[in-house]
Amino acid sequence: MIRRFFLFLSTQGGIRRWMETSPISKKLTHRFVAGETLEEGLAVCTELQQESILSTLDNLGENVTSLGEAAASRDAYLEALARIAERGLPSTVSFKLTQFGLDLSEDACLENVRQLAAKAKANHSGVEIDMESSDYTDRTLRMAERVAAEFGCVRAVIQAYLFRSAGDIDRLNRLAIPVRLCKGAYNEPPAIAFAEKRDVDRNYLALMKTLLDKGTYPAIATHDERIIGEAFRYVRERRIGQDKFEFQMLYGIRRDLQRRIVDLGYRLRLYVPYGTAWYPYFMRRLAERPANALFLARNLFR
């Protein structure tokens, strides 16, 4: 119920504009967002590198309303890739197709993604195409497959809460496209998605094992200690090398668990968001754990 309320709020443009320009914005977001600028995002990636943690930079933004805005997002990402290469960071970039104009023109969006993938390939980096709500699943996977066929260096994202995901993973595995497996962060109807957490978790475990057995360098993206423990057990049992997959987690969440993963010798990549368009990302983080709202409220009044 509370989760759905925060997810509903995340889609409200009026509140979004007010919040993003509010003077308390930095105070609210610093736990989950690296900062407003690319420089601040890169500084976090540099610190992570020193702790043997890989990163993927996300220039926050989604659902642009003009192709000019989409081109500006693309350029911001091209700049990010250039700066990642200059600093020799072990970083990829993550973005949403609606940030690159998917709602306005699939062709223009494709061209934006192609430019980014070409640059990532030239720089020995990679692009990770975040998965948005189910309105976009087919188009996102189509785009990921198309760009992966041309450039490689593309990671697709699959959400364990969707009934369709086992089929999508089988296809991506056959195409040797790396997958980031997450539980899923949007409000989806019960006709297409598991509503109960225990069903999502059960499906996650099954999909994770398929990816570890048959996938191409999959990313296990979760903060769920039980699932991570099961991944440790499974890879030991199957003698799957630590260089055959990676864990992924979000900046600012479960730092204790992040350290444990790295200390055990596994690869970990943190998703590092930066930028001023933080509202929808931030509200999804509150939806995942409503107790965060209390924590933030206490911080604000401190």
Ligand X SMILES: Cc1cc2nc3c(=O)[nH]c(=O)nc-3n(C[C@H](O)[C@H](O)[C@H](O)COP(=O)(O)OP(=O)(O)OC[C@H]3O[C@@H](n4cnc5c(N)ncnc54)[C@H](O)[C@@H]3O)c2cc1C
By the rule CB under 6 A, 119 interacts with ligand X? no
Nearer residue to ligand X within complex by CB, 122 or 171: 171
User: In this chain, which of 16, 74, 119, 285 binds ligand X, going by CB under 6 A?
Assistant: 285
Footprint on residues 133-162 left by ligand X (CB under 6 A): 157, 159
By the rule CB under 6 A, 28 interacts with ligand X? no
Q: Nearest Cα to 173, choosing from 197, 200, 203, 141? A: 141
Instruction: Note if 130 is an active site residue.
Output: yes
Nearer residue to ligand X within complex by CB, 230 or 288: 288
User: In this chain, which of 35, 61, 184, 275 binds ligand X, going by CB under 6 A?
Assistant: 184
By the rule CB under 6 A, 169 interacts with ligand X? no
Number of residues this chain uses to bind ligand X (CB under 6 A): 24
By the rule CB under 6 A, 260 interacts with ligand X? no
Nearer residue to ligand X within complex by CB, 167 or 290: 290
Instruction: Note if 87 is an active site residue.
Output: no
Nearer residue to ligand X within complex by CB, 168 or 224: 224
User: In this chain, which of 186, 245, 274, 279 binds ligand X, going by CB under 6 A?
Assistant: 186
Q: Nearest Cα to 58, choosing from 71, 45, 49? A: 45
Element holding 225 (H helix, E strand): helix 225-237
CB of 239 to ligand X, least distance (A): 26
**CA 281 to CA 271: how far, in whole Å?**
12
User: In this chain, which of 60, 185, 268, 296 binds ligand X, going by CB under 6 A?
Assistant: 185
CB of 185 to ligand X, least distance (A): 4
Residue 264: which region, alpha, beta or left (left: phi > 0; alpha: psi -120 to 50)?
Answer: alpha
By the rule CB under 6 A, 221 interacts with ligand X? yes
By the rule CB under 6 A, 182 interacts with ligand X? yes
DSSP string for the chain? -HHHHHHHHHT-HHHHHHHHTSTTHHHHHTTT---SSHHHHHHHHHHHHHTT-EEEEEE-----SSHHHHHHHHHHHHHHHHHHHHHT--EEEEE-GGGGTTTT-HHHHHHHHHHHHHHHHHTT--EEE----GGGHHHHHHHHHHHHHHH--EEEEEETTBTTHHHHHHHHHHTT--EEEE---S---TTTB--SHHHHHHHHHHHHHHHHHH-SS-EEE---HHHHHHHHHHHHHTT--TTS-EEEEETTS-HHHHHHHHHTT--EEEEEEESS--HHHHHHHHHH-THHHHHHHHHHH-
By the rule CB under 6 A, 181 interacts with ligand X? no
Nearer residue to ligand X within complex by CB, 42 or 157: 157
Please choose, out of 221-229, 237-245, 259-267, 273-281, the segment that lies near ligand X by the rule CB under 6 A: 221-229
Q: Which one is catalytic: 74, 155, 180, 285? A: 180
User: In this chain, which of 40, 199, 288, 293 binds ligand X, going by CB under 6 A?
Assistant: 288
On whether the CB atoms of residues 125 and 92 are closer than 8 A, the answer is yes
CB of 224 to ligand X, least distance (A): 4
CB of 252 to ligand X, least distance (A): 8
Q: List residues with catalytic annotation.
A: 130, 180
Residues that bind ligand X (CB under 6 A): 130-131, 157, 159, 180, 182-186, 221-224, 248-250, 253-254, 271, 285, 288-289, 292
